[in-house]
């Protein structure tokens, strides 16, 4: 029997301010329905230019996400200088040779998934004297094409991070496409609880409401706020 697919999250329309207001309301309602606190909204601005981002900043959004260190470094220093208090999260894969740049630029990194990155981040954090919040990315659907640590290898990765002096705040995952995300979100929450981790980075433009209902602490929403992405 084919599994039922969860209804996509509501489409948002209007100005940047109106979309942001509607999204925050939907997140608050979904979280309340699940008995959870409203998650933090990460506006994922990858591939969008500074002029596309400024309307959301003007509307009050302060937490943003980027997928690539190089792209973030090219546009965010100027935006951060214009508006103090902005917070930037890396929500894409991180190459080990970019660890020092990432530690300097991002307040949080959501893609810790392998031993080589643990070592690179530990060195970078030691050199800088500070550490961003870290989320271990889990390959929650055991998909060969996706990044993330395998579920069975998660305990070893967390132990390795701890031994290297890195604090891990939570877990991140992207469920398989075109499948009901709810069981995968529930599994991620179970894994986080098992390991004493409070952070749950889960939910995107198509399923942010489901993630909020199931206890997400951070949702990563791009196209629902910005519209169709530019190809770069």
3-state helix, strand, coil in the chain (%, to 5): 45, 15, 40
- What is the Cα–Cα distance from 158 to 82, expressed in whole angstroms? 37
Q: What contacts 133, CB < 8 A, 6 or more positions away?
A: 107, 108, 109, 169, 199
Q: What is the pTM of this model?
A: 0.93
pLDDT in tens, 187-213: 999 999 999 999 999 999 999 999 999
Domain extent for 151: 16-226
Residue 9 confidence (pLDDT) above 70:
no
Would you place residue 231 in the very low, low, confident or very high pLDDT band (cuts 50, 70, 90)?
A: very low
Does residue 164 form part of some domain?
yes
Helix (H, G, I), strand (E, B) or coil at 226: helix
**pLDDT score at 27:** 96
Does residue 125 form part of some domain?
yes
pLDDT in tens, 218-228: 999 998 898 77
- Write down how long the chain is: 232
Does residue 192 form part of some domain?
yes
Does residue 112 form part of some domain?
yes
Does residue 5 form part of some domain?
no
Does residue 99 form part of some domain?
yes
**Which residues make beta-bridge pairs with 41?**
219
Total domains in the chain come to: 1
């Amino acid at each position: 029997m084919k599994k039922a697919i969860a209804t996509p999250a509501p489409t948002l329309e209007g100005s940047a301010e109106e979309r942001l207001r509607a999204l925050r309301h939907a997140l608050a309602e979904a979280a309340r329905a699940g008995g959870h606190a409203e998650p933090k909204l990460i506006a994922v601005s990858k591939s969008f230019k500074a002029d596309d981002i400024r309307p959301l900043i003007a509307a009050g959004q302060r937490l943003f996400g980027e997928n690539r260190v190089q792209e973030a470094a090219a546009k965010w220093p100027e935006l951060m200088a214009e508006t103090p208090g902005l917070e930037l999260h890396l929500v894409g894969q991180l190459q080990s040779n970019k660890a020092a740049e990432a530690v300097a630029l991002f307040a949080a990194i959501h893609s810790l998934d392998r031993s080589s990155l643990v070592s690179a981040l530990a060195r970078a954090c030691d050199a800088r004297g500070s550490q961003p919040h870290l989320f271990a990315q889990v390959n929650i659907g055991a998909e060969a094409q996706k990044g993330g640590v395998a579920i069975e290898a998660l305990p070893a990765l967390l132990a390795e991070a701890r031994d290297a002096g890195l604090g891990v705040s939570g877990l991140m995952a992207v469920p398989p496409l075109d499948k009901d995300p709810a069981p995968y979100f529930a599994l991620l929450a179970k894994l986080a609880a098992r390991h004493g981790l409070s952070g749950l980075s889960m939910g995107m433009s198509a399923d942010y409401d489901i993630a909020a209902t199931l206890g997400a602490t951070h949702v990563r929403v791009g196209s629902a706020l910005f519209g169709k992405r530019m190809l770069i």
